[in-house]
Amino acid sequence: MDRDDAELMFQGVERQAELVRTGKVTSRALVEAALRRIERLDPALGAFRVVLAEQARAEADARDADAEPARGPLHGVPVAVKDEFDVAGQVTTFGGAANRTPAAADSEAVRRLRAAGAVVIGKTTMPEFGQWPFTESDTHGTAHNPWDTTRTPGGSSGGSAAAVAAGLVGAALGGDGGGSIRIPAACCGLFGLKPQRGRVSTAPNAHLWYALGTVGPLTRTVRDTALLYDVLAGTTPADRWSARPAATGWLRALETPPGRLRIGYCAKSAVPGVRPHPEHVGALLETVRALRELGHDVREVNPRYPDATVPFAAQFCGGVRAEAAAVERPDLLEPRTRSTLALARLVPESAVERGIRAGERLAERADRMFTSMDLLLTPVVAARPRPVGALDGAGLLTALARSRPMVAYTALWNVTGHPAASVPAGLGTDGLPLAVQLVGRRDDEVSVLRVAAQLEEARPWAGRRPPSAAS
């Protein structure tokens, strides 16, 4: 049964939906396989904050009873949701203990997943308010990397990444305010695309850390990510930002090759003084070779990265302050979060708005990089995944210092809003995944996806499974 469960859960969401659609498996069988794997593997991973076993079984049974016309593209497929998004009937903890009342309704992204037929099987762990690239919570514990459980899966969507990498679910919803989809994707060997700002609704909230945050999935394959964005893309009147609508469906876009693109590559970090691990540089150069073999014009570049520190810090402080203001028991916030809030009180709302406008100016400067190239290729993170416990006993300044190598390549693109993806690039000598980042022009997720799909075909990564979760 364990091996059969693994075969089912490592299929990915597109294949799982096809199995349900063709009657080869039921939604209830998929959910039961996921629940057995969660029960067996999650005690060592800490990926789930709560598992909705009975609700998921009931929802799967309802999916199996649905008539064919009512079936959507994710019909019957179990998915997980990061604990910063509302799931009806469940507390949205934001990774802490300060909320107590269950949400009355699903967030818009979760509503769209269910409308497409997905079954929500549980909520995944995160650091409080998603502040850190390590998934460690005083209340809900520490998430572990399925490739080596002594190491971090990254963050802040680390629980979602660990759940997908270990084959507990085929896809999980995450959020990215400074790298929080791309960093755990890189640490866990997944594909993770931060979409263009405003691509996916943050409703019922007007924003996620103001202009920094985006919503999106973590998956094992590019096609699964495209399928999920076909479901998730679109905003509501409640959203402060809205991206330019895509010209075609995301899966359909993958049917057309990208043609010969101009791709610049650079190992230099956007944060002065942060140097990449040699194996990350090696993965970058190996990807350069692969892209050239695919026919692209790939050249080393030396971009003049704009300094995003001030606009990022202003929105980070404002975003954490806004989320903390909405919790029921602020006295139960973690000490480190209270330190963030003490700093945030020095940043008035007017400074946050100035940070947003400064970010837009930086986006215009970044756009000029893309006049001579179609995509930019960089590392995702500077450091290898560190041992768990990065936040143990760490105050605010120590936590910030330990986070710096993890966000040095990612946070700029949250400030500017450009789409960027973590693309698997093999395994390091430590047995942990390697990855590279592809950054696209504004509103051009399609080019990122098409080139990532080419790389996936040239060096298949979806078949790789963490040894501890392979069966």
Go through the domains of the chain in sequence order and give each one's CATH number.
2-469 (3.90.1300.10)
**Rounded to the nearest 5°, which phi and psi values hold at 214?**
-135, 160
Rg (C-alpha) for the chain, rounded Å, is 20
Q: Which of 82, 123, 157, 269 is catalytic?
A: 82
Residue 156: active-site member: yes
Question: What is the pLDDT at residue 1?
Answer: 64
The tens place of each residue's pLDDT in the chain, 471 residues long, gives 677 999 999 999 999 999 999 999 999 999 999 999 999 999 999 999 999 999 999 999 999 999 888 899 999 999 999 999 999 999 999 999 999 999 999 999 999 999 999 999 999 999 999 999 999 999 999 999 999 999 999 999 999 999 999 999 999 999 999 999 999 999 999 999 999 999 999 999 999 999 999 999 999 999 999 999 999 999 999 999 999 998 889 999 999 999 999 999 999 999 999 999 999 999 999 999 999 999 999 999 999 999 999 999 999 999 999 999 999 999 999 999 999 999 999 999 999 999 999 999 999 999 999 999 999 999 999 999 999 999 999 999 999 999 999 999 999 999 999 999 999 999 999 999 999 999 999 999 999 999 999 999 999 988 889 988 888
pTM of the model as a whole: 0.98
Decide: 274 and 382 in contact? Cβ < 8 Å: yes
Question: What is the pLDDT at residue 279?
Answer: 98
Q: Which of 137, 156, 157, 403 is catalytic?
A: 156
Residue 82: active-site member: yes
Decide: 233 and 199 in contact? Cβ < 8 Å: yes
DSSP state of 172: E
The token pair that represents 342 in the structure block: 């003490």
Q: Which of 27, 107, 160, 180 is catalytic?
A: 180
Residue 242: active-site member: no
Residue type at position 316: F
Could you tell me where the beta strands, DSSP code E, fall in 52-163? 78-82, 119-124, 136-137, 141-142
Decide: 172 and 42 in contact? Cβ < 8 Å: no
**Rounded to the nearest 5°, which phi and psi values hold at 274?**
-100, 120
